[in-house]
Amino acid sequence: MDEKMEIRQGTLALMVLRTLESMGPLHGYGIARRIEQTSGDLLSLNYGTLYPALLKLEQEGWIRSEWGVSDNNRRAKYYRLTRAGLRQVKRETMEWERTTAILARFLAPQKGTP
Amino acid sequence: MRTLRSWALRLTDLFRKGRRDRELAEELESHLHFHIEDNLRLGMSPDEARRRALLALGGVEQTKERVRERRGFPWIHDLIQDVRFGVRMLFRHRGFTLVVLTVLGCGIGACIATFEIVNTVLLRPFPYHEPNRLVMLWERTSQEELPTSYLNFLDWRSRNRVFRHMAAYRTDDAVLTGAGPAERRQALVVSSDFLATLGVRPLLGRDFLVEDDRVGAEPVVVLTHALWNGMFHGDSAILGQAITINGKRAVVIGVLPEHFEFPAGGDLLMPLSTIAERLRSRGHDTGLLVVARLEDGVSPERAGAEMGSVMAELVQSHPEALAGRRLALATLDDFTFGDLPRTLWTLMGAVGFVLLIACTNVANLQMSRAASRRREVAIRNAIGATRGRVIRQFLTESVTASLVGGLLGLGLARLLIHALAVFGPGNIPRLSEVSIDTRTLLFTLGVSLLTGVLYGWIPALQMSKPDLSSLLKESERGSTPGHRSLGSALVVAEVALAMVLLIGGGLMIQTFWKLRRVDPGFVPQRLLTLQAMLPAREGEGGRLRAFIEVLRSRIRSLPGVHDVALSDGLPYIGTNQVPITLDDAAAKSGESPIALMYVTTGNYFEVMGLAVVRGRTYSASDGPAAPRVAVIDEALARKYFPGADPIGHRLGLGTDTPTPSMEIVGVVRHVKDRGMDERAQVQPQFYLALDQVADDVLPDLLGSAHVIVRAETDSPSLAPAVRGALNRLDPDMALFGVQTLEGLIADTMTPQRFSLLLLLVFGLLALVLAVVGLYASMAYNVSLRRQEIGIRMALGAQSSDMFAMVLRRSLRLTGIGLAIGAVAALALTRFLSGLLYGVSSSDPRTFLAVALLFTLVALLATYVPARRAACVDPMTVLRCE
């Protein structure tokens, strides 16, 4: 398993939201790096897909953006979670856990049946 | 809140494109910078660090484009693209588009026209205070509806306990002179509390006062806003000034608000005191209608019951004048609109049904093209369009077409409304006010959108199927017989509907034809008539008589004039309806006799071509001093002197005369003075000599006289000469209503003409729909059966066999439709029988002619699909398999 996995459709949004929830405000590059690190560098993130996703989340009202200054004095756009976004993270996390739990049962080695 | 913010963000994205782009560029730049710094930290060379960062981002421009696509409302983008494509498709298939637009335009247009009428006529309440509390009162006998008299009105008003206000009115001609050329307008002559009853206050000046009702009060007038604006240029200085109405001065005291309207019409209001001399009798020499406002908590039913007993008391105390009279009461809405609401709503439903048929037709037509768009859909699917996207595109196409159809429909509706105003029965209130307002536009938009979705839905679902060829095969194997038989049933229904309407139209055409040949009782050809306001002042009867003689001799001396007569009334325009007394005992049974009175010069009968049946007409020897004589018509003779010779009997005016004063000297033919079709009511007529009318009555009787000119050759061309002669005689004399008698007769056929127009318009619409339906159904059928046809031909069938096969199928459907239509027409044309004349509602010739026309048109519609079937190349079809 040398190859890195592509991110599945629909999961990127949740990853972004979770990242912002645990890390607080971050700029785009910071979010991308953090997602890669969290995955243990197993995921390959096409950075270009991150920005449309961020715009979508902002349109949904789950995150907000504002311009700020980074540690090394660079102007960057920082994203942070809104209260609606926080609720959304909780909701989606729960749904995701249930889905994976169900999928896990299907994927577990089948016993008893031929 | 969240959605609101989201919309706000999308909207600002739309309008601040430049700024967003700059921000995005800066954001990506900082992203690259961070990445490059990280890479440098990992020990890459600057070039390598930059290359890797760019690679990871997947290209700056591509990323920008992807973000841009998400900004704002991406579906707007798609929509514009789809509309563009839809319009291109419409232009490419012009023939198809033309048919679709015609069918949709007709369907939607009929819908809009009906809606406009419903909207204007029914949905807008009268601009009065609580208009639903207003009722109308009048009188009726067992035979007819009658207006009431002023004396009865006064008694009703003083004896009732159910009305808060009660006012009487009538409409009269009002000729305005003095301000430029004479203009004929309509006056509402009202009791002083008329406006108070309606709850309307004048915009300027004052309302009528009780004093204005007194006999001998100074004549006053209130102008409508339109008249004030038009004739008096909206000048408020007119208040307090006198204007000349019917030769009499009246002071303007007020102007009504702009939105004022009254069902009976009227350009100005005058108090009843101005016609006090015509209001003295309890009979009905000058009829009035009464409008009243119900007291709080009183229902129209209770008011009707109570007023009924008030009327019964009056009849008891005045039996000679009111025998057989009862009270009639209805709400203002019912009185004004009658059956119209039900008719209009029914029409609305029918028109909606027609639109539905139109939709199904177009859907069928669309389906017949499914095969030709197979490739297009396949390519779209191949390059990744989802089914939803393809459906959306098809729907956009159909909605685009239906919106264009809606625009056409709007134009068509204008034409229809215009035609209705010109050819209409003239009894649809407010028709002149019909105009395009916001509600109509919204309705048009709504109906168009709905139509587009309705007819586009099924074809879109079917054609968007990823594997269209399998759909076609499915149908070939007959797995969707439901759809086919539904289509056939629809075609049959359309043919039947069109058949019924066209038969109705055919019957009306014959009625019209027959009515034009009816003998009206006189000779209307070469007769020209006009009305003149003679300089008739009270107490100057003698001078008026002399004036009339000069007038007649001036006109008679004009070249081309054969003779000229004068009369107080004219057939089709009207004359006085008066109670009469006859000396014959047989005539005194039941209700008091009523007849139409014409006061004429002696030569009236020759000029009109009115033939004498018995006795003589009056002549120069029947002067003022001679014994008074009367001429009656056949109808009066038949009704009151059945089987007897009326000559020598006596006839008197009114009910108060103890002995009838005139001797009947002659009987003339009955003039069909209400129209050629007189089955409903024949009103007896009688004639009195102008020479024998007392001087004091003459000015009132002949204030507006009918001048009847018989021309030597051609009547209309005489009009300017007659006008000129009268103008030279008295420049102040107002002239109006220049018409030929033939024109007047034509006007009486308006109801027939209107029904004819409606039936023909809807009949042709139905015909178009049926033909398109037949064509679409056949074309679809052929496109589904290409393969079968190909195989048959490969097995030896001839082209002509295939051609005949399609024709047979089409004729079978048409035949069934015609049979059903004929049966339905037999049942339905009965309702037309009231309008028909000289033709049976089951006239076999009409039925046959329409059936023939239909068969012919059906053959034409089937020709193209049948040709297509005949031209199928078996090799091509088999190779496709």
Query: Among B6, B38, B63, whose Cβ lies nearest the Cβ of A51?
Result: B63
Phi, psi of A102 (to 5 degrees): -65, -45
CA distance readout (Å), B300 to A48, B164, B295, B296, B328: 78, 13, 10, 11, 11
CA distance readout (Å), B258 to A109, B198, B200, B625: 87, 15, 11, 54
Q: Please state whether beta strands B326-331 and B134-140 pair in parallel, antiparallel, or not at all (unpaired).
A: antiparallel
| Structure-block tokens of residue B806 | 């399609």
Among A1-10, B197-206, B350-359, B470-479, the range with the most confident prediction by mean pLDDT is B197-206
Instruction: Name the pLDDT band for B479 (thresholds 50, 70, 90).
Output: very low
Q: How many whole angstroms separate alpha carbon B202 and alpha carbon B192? A: 13
pLDDT at B483 (0 to 100)? 54
Q: How many whole angstroms separate alpha carbon B512 and alpha carbon B333? A: 33
Please give the share of chain A, as a percent, with pLDDT higher than 90: 16
Q: How many whole angstroms separate alpha carbon B188 and alpha carbon B173? A: 9
Contacts of B28 in chain A (CB under 8 A): 51
Contacts of B37 in chain A (CB under 8 A): 72
Least confident of B182-196, B570-584, B809-823: B570-584
* Cβ(B788)–Cβ(B476) below 8 Å: yes
pLDDT at A1 (0 to 100)? 39
State pLDDT tens for residues B149-179.
Answer: 888 999 999 998 899 999 999 988 888 876 6
Contact assignment for B70 to A49 by CB distance below 8 Å: no
Position B142: which residue type? S
Check residue B673 and report its DSSP letter. Answer: B
Please give the share of chain B, as a percent, with pLDDT higher than 90: 22
Q: How many whole angstroms separate alpha carbon A41 and alpha carbon B474? A: 53
Residues 542 through 601 of chain B touching chain A, CB cutoff 8 Å = none
DSSP element (H, E) containing B230: helix B225-231
Name every residue whose Cβ is closer than 8 Å to that of residue B446 and which is 6 or more positions away in sequence.
none
| Max CA distance (Å), chain A | 64
Q: How many whole angstroms separate alpha carbon B348 and alpha carbon B111? A: 7
Q: Is the pLDDT of residue B668 over 90?
A: yes
Q: How many whole angstroms separate alpha carbon B563 and alpha carbon B560? A: 9
Q: How many whole angstroms separate alpha carbon A2 and alpha carbon B649? A: 130
Position A105: which residue type? R
The CA-based angle B377-B380-B383, given to 5 degrees, is 150
Q: How many whole angstroms separate alpha carbon B99 and alpha carbon B541? A: 70
- Residue B358: how many other CB atoms lie within 10 Å: 30
State pLDDT tens for residues B304-314.
Answer: 999 999 999 99
Q: How many whole angstroms separate alpha carbon B358 and alpha carbon B503? A: 21
* Cβ(B172)–Cβ(B189) below 8 Å: yes
Instruction: Name the pLDDT band for B655 (thresholds 50, 70, 90).
Output: low
Residue of B nearest to A45 (CA): B56
Phi, psi of B307 (to 5 degrees): -70, -30
* Cβ(A81)–Cβ(A31) below 8 Å: no
Among B291-295, B622-626, B805-809, the range with the most confident prediction by mean pLDDT is B291-295
Contact assignment for B57 to A47 by CB distance below 8 Å: yes
Q: Is the pLDDT of residue B324 over 80?
A: yes
pLDDT at B165 (0 to 100)? 93
Q: Is the pLDDT of residue B45 over 80?
A: yes
Instruction: Name the pLDDT band for B632 (thresholds 50, 70, 90).
Output: very high
Q: Is the pLDDT of residue B14 over 80?
A: no
pLDDT at B477 (0 to 100)? 44
Q: Is the pLDDT of residue B217 over 60?
A: yes
pLDDT at B475 (0 to 100)? 47
Q: Check CB contact of B714 with chain A, cutoff 8 Å.
A: no
Mean pLDDT of the region B688-715 = 85
Q: How far is B61 from chain A (nearest CA, A)?
A: 10
Instruction: Name the pLDDT band for B117 (thresholds 50, 70, 90).
Output: confident
Q: Check CB contact of B2 with chain A, cutoff 8 Å.
A: yes
| Structure-block tokens of residue B183 | 């203009």
Q: How many whole angstroms separate alpha carbon B469 and alpha carbon B371? A: 8
Cα–Cα nearest to B115, from B417, B485, B467: B417
* β-pair partners for B668: B612, B633
Position B284: which residue type? H
DSSP code string of B607-669: HHT--EEEE----TTS-SSSPPEEEEEHHHHHHHSTTS--TT-EEEESSS-SS--EEEEEEEP
DSSP H stretches of helix in B785-843: 786-794, 799-828
Contact assignment for B67 to A51 by CB distance below 8 Å: yes
pLDDT at B156 (0 to 100)? 92
- Number of residue pairs across A and B with CB atoms under 8 Å? 70
| Structure-block tokens of residue B270 | 């005058």
Mean pLDDT of the region B282-310 = 87
Instruction: Name the pLDDT band for B537 (thresholds 50, 70, 90).
Output: low
Label residues B644-657 b or e (16+ Cβ within 10 Å = b).
Answer: eebbebbbbbebee
Q: Please state whether beta strands A75-81 and A26-27 pair in parallel, antiparallel, or not at all (unpaired).
A: antiparallel
Name every residue whose Cβ is closer than 8 Å to that of residue B158 and which is 6 or more positions away in sequence.
none
CA atoms A52, A57, A61, A65: torsion sign: negative
Mean pLDDT of the region B238-259 = 88
Mean pLDDT of the region B440-463 = 86
Secondary structure of B233-284 as H, E, C letters: CCCHHHCCCEEEECCEEEEEEEECCCCCCCCCCCCEEEEHHHHHHHCCCCCC
Cα–Cα nearest to B649, from B693, B601, B692, B686: B686
Q: Is the pLDDT of residue B547 over 70?
A: yes
pLDDT at B2 (0 to 100)? 59
pLDDT at B91 (0 to 100)? 80
The CA-based angle B832-B838-B844, given to 5 degrees, is 75
Q: How many whole angstroms separate alpha carbon B811 and alpha carbon B789? A: 19
| Max CA distance (Å), chain B | 140
Contact assignment for B2 to A60 by CB distance below 8 Å: yes
Q: Is the pTM of this model over 0.80?
A: no
Query: Among B6, B33, B58, whose Cβ lies nearest the Cβ of A74?
Result: B33
Q: What is the CA radius of gyration of chain B?
A: 38
Low-confidence ranges of chain A (pLDDT < 50): 1-2, 112-114
Q: How many whole angstroms separate alpha carbon B873 and alpha carbon B591? A: 85
Q: At what angle do helices B481-515 and B799-828 cross, to 10 degrees?
A: 50
DSSP element (H, E) containing B558: none
DSSP H stretches of helix in A24-82: 28-38, 47-60
Burial of B199 (0-12, 13-18, 19+ CB in 10 A): middle
pLDDT at B138 (0 to 100)? 92
Contacts of A48 in chain B (CB under 8 A): 57-59, 62-63, 66
* Cβ(B862)–Cβ(B810) below 8 Å: yes
State pLDDT tens for residues B715-760.
Answer: 778 888 998 898 888 877 878 888 899 888 888 877 777 777 777 8
Q: Please state whether beta strands B220-223 and B248-255 pair in parallel, antiparallel, or not at all (unpaired).
A: parallel
List Cβ<8 Å contacts ≥24 apart for A1-4: A4/A41, A4/A42, A4/A43, A4/A44
Mean pLDDT of the region B684-708 = 86
Phi, psi of A58 (to 5 degrees): -70, -40
Cα–Cα nearest to B630, from B699, B585, B580, B569: B580
Cα–Cα nearest to B359, from B398, B392, B393: B398
Cα–Cα nearest to B250, from B260, B264, B240: B240
* Cβ(B648)–Cβ(B664) below 8 Å: yes
* Cβ(B734)–Cβ(B532) below 8 Å: yes
CA distance readout (Å), B338 to B342, B344, B420, B831: 9, 11, 19, 18
State pLDDT tens for residues B130-142.
Answer: 888 999 999 988 7
Contacts of A72 in chain B (CB under 8 A): 37
Q: Check CB contact of B5 with chain A, cutoff 8 Å.
A: yes
Mean pLDDT of the region B518-535 = 88
CA distance readout (Å), B118 to A61, B111, B369, B422, B434: 47, 11, 38, 18, 10
Residue of B nearest to A75 (CA): B30
Phi, psi of B830 (to 5 degrees): -55, -35
- Residue B377: how many other CB atoms lie within 10 Å: 21
Contacts of B5 in chain A (CB under 8 A): 61
DSSP element (H, E) containing B180: strand B180-190
Query: Among A27, A47, A70, whose Cβ lies nearest the Cβ of B58?
Result: A47
Instruction: Name the pLDDT band for B299 (thresholds 50, 70, 90).
Output: very high
Q: How many whole angstroms separate alpha carbon B565 and alpha carbon B608? A: 9
The ipTM, to two decimals, is: 0.86
Q: How many CA atoms lie within 13 A of B330 on its CB side?
A: 14
Average pLDDT over chain B, rounded to an integer:
83
DSSP H stretches of helix in B464-603: 468-476, 481-515, 541-556
